[in-house]
Each structure stands twice: as structure tokens, then as C-alpha cells.
């Protein structure tokens, strides 16, 4: 269970690093998946994060494969989290804008 929490925290970290990288370089917007994959694999290698070893799955022949696949999984989870957070943010923005628009139209009718 602690590995799942660590996995999600790493995914949120990859989301943040990807957004910072894309905000700094607007040309990277089309390469969002590649940037997330780079950060995911890089952070997994930096922390030596291996989900197969954490779950006691010993079928991998080489250790670096587990770390690399864990980084790819972190990047995939980061892209999913980014889409979920983006949809929630757009929903909030939509609800706020509609409320503001309704207030403006009602005030014009009263005045």
C-alpha cells in the first residue's frame, strides 16, 4: 500500500515537472507524452523505483527493465492525472463563468 502512495506522489511530481517544462518551452506542447515519459523514467531511475521488486515479482531477467517500465507506468499515470485535474479545473471555470454571466444578465434586466 505504501508503494501505491509513492507511485501516485511520483505521478503528481511528473505532472508538475511536465507542466513547468511545457510552460517554459511552448514548442514542447505537442511533445507532452515524450516529456512526461522522460521525467517518469528519469525519476524512477533516480529513486531506483521498481514496482516488480516492491510486489515481489521475480520474473524479470534484468533489474533495469523493471525500473524503466515503472517509470513508463508513472508517466502514464501522470498523463491520466493531468487529464482528470484539467477536466475538474475546466468544470470549475465553466461553472464560475456561467454564474457570472447570469448575474450580469439579471442586473441588466433590473436596471
Structurally, the chain folds into a number of domains equal to 1
Domain assignment of residue 101, yes or no = no
**What would the mean pLDDT of 84-103 be, rounded to a whole number?**
74
d(CA 18, CA 92): 22
Assigned domain for 111 exists: no
Average pLDDT over the chain, rounded to an integer: 83
Q: Is residue 105 part of a domain?
A: no
Give counts: helices (H), strands (E), the chain.
4, 0
The answer to the question of residue 107 being in a domain is no
Handedness of CA 76, 77, 80, 85 (dihedral sign): negative
The answer to whether 14 touches 40, Cβ cutoff 8 Å, is yes
Q: Is residue 98 part of a domain?
A: no
Structural domain includes residue 95: no
* pLDDT tens digits for range 17-35: 988 887 777 777 778 889 8
The residue segments making up the domain with residue 30 are 2-86
Lowest pLDDT segment from 32-36, 45-49, 78-82, 100-104: 100-104
Q: Is residue 92 part of a domain?
A: no
Amino acid at each position: 500500500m505504501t508503494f501505491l502512495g509513492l507511485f501516485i506522489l511520483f505521478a503528481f511530481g511528473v505532472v508538475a515537472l511536465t507542466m513547468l517544462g511545457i510552460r517554459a518551452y511552448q514548442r514542447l506542447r505537442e511533445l507532452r507524452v515524450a516529456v512526461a515519459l522522460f521525467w517518469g523514467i528519469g525519476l524512477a531511475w533516480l529513486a531506483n523505483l521498481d514496482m516488480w521488486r516492491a510486489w515481489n515479482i521475480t520474473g524479470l531477467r534484468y533489474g533495469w527493465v523493471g525500473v524503466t517500465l515503472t517509470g513508463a507506468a508513472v508517466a502514464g499515470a501522470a498523463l491520466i492525472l493531468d487529464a482528470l485535474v484539467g477536466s475538474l479545473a475546466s468544470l470549475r471555470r465553466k461553472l464560475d463563468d456561467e454564474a457570472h454571466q447570469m448575474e450580469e444578465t439579471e442586473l441588466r434586466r433590473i436596471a
